[in-house]
Amino acid sequence: MNAGQPGPGERAPDFDLLAAGSGRRVSLRGSAGRPRVLIFHLQGTAPTAREINRAVREHYPSPEDVLVASVIDLSIVPPVYWMTVGLVLGQAYENAAAELPPETDPADYVVILPDWGGRVSRAYGARRTNRAAAIVVVDEDSNLSGFYQGERPVEAVLEMLA
């Protein structure tokens, strides 16, 4: 656990972000009543987010059971490049949505949350996500169930959700 990072059982830091691609507003309060899996990653660790999403959906097929969201710390991106990065994230959303069954609403299954100022990433203690994705599981009452950043993220997430 990183210094300044909330621990298991503590109240999860609140957040309110606009999802890339769908334009849907996603917040801690707005998604209460179900567990939330927040995957903090950058481009190089994005495959971990896809693996986790697939594994969680195998065990919890409905987004009403568990919300899985990618949170991308974009605080190092100068504002002059924000539009370009937004287009890249929109394309990532479209690519992921194209892999879903046609009757599926992609906004429920593909949740990419740009953290432009890095506030949410800092609040959750997610660091060095260019090396390994950081995973936070928040329970249905908005308390932290756990934090993991290591070599077995899929197994760790499924254990925290069980």
Give the neighbor-by-neighbor strand order of the sheet with 144-148. 112-115, 67-73, 36-40, 134-138, 144-148
Polymer length in residues for the chain: 162
Secondary structure letter of residue 118 according to DSSP = S
| Rounded Cα–Cα distance for residues 134 and 80 (Å) | 27
Distance between CA atoms of residues 158 and 72, nearest Å: 21
Q: Kindly report, residue by residue over 125-153, the tens digit of the pLDDT.
A: 999 999 999 999 999 999 999 999 999 99
Fold topology of 16-161: Glutaredoxin (3.40.30)
Q: Distance between CA 63 and CA 61 in Å, rounded?
A: 7
pLDDT in tens, 40-86: 999 999 999 999 999 999 999 999 999 999 999 999 999 999 999 99
Residue 6 has pLDDT above 80, yes or no: no
The crossing angle, in degrees rounded to 10, of helices 153-161 and 46-59 is 40
Helices (H), 99-152: 106-109, 119-123
Model pTM score: 0.93
Asked whether the beta carbons of 75 and 117 are under 8 A apart, the reply is yes
Closest to 99 measured CA to CA, from 131, 53, 33, 48: 53
* Bridge partner list, 73: 115
Residue 9 has pLDDT above 90, yes or no: no
Domains of the chain, by residue range, sit at 16-161
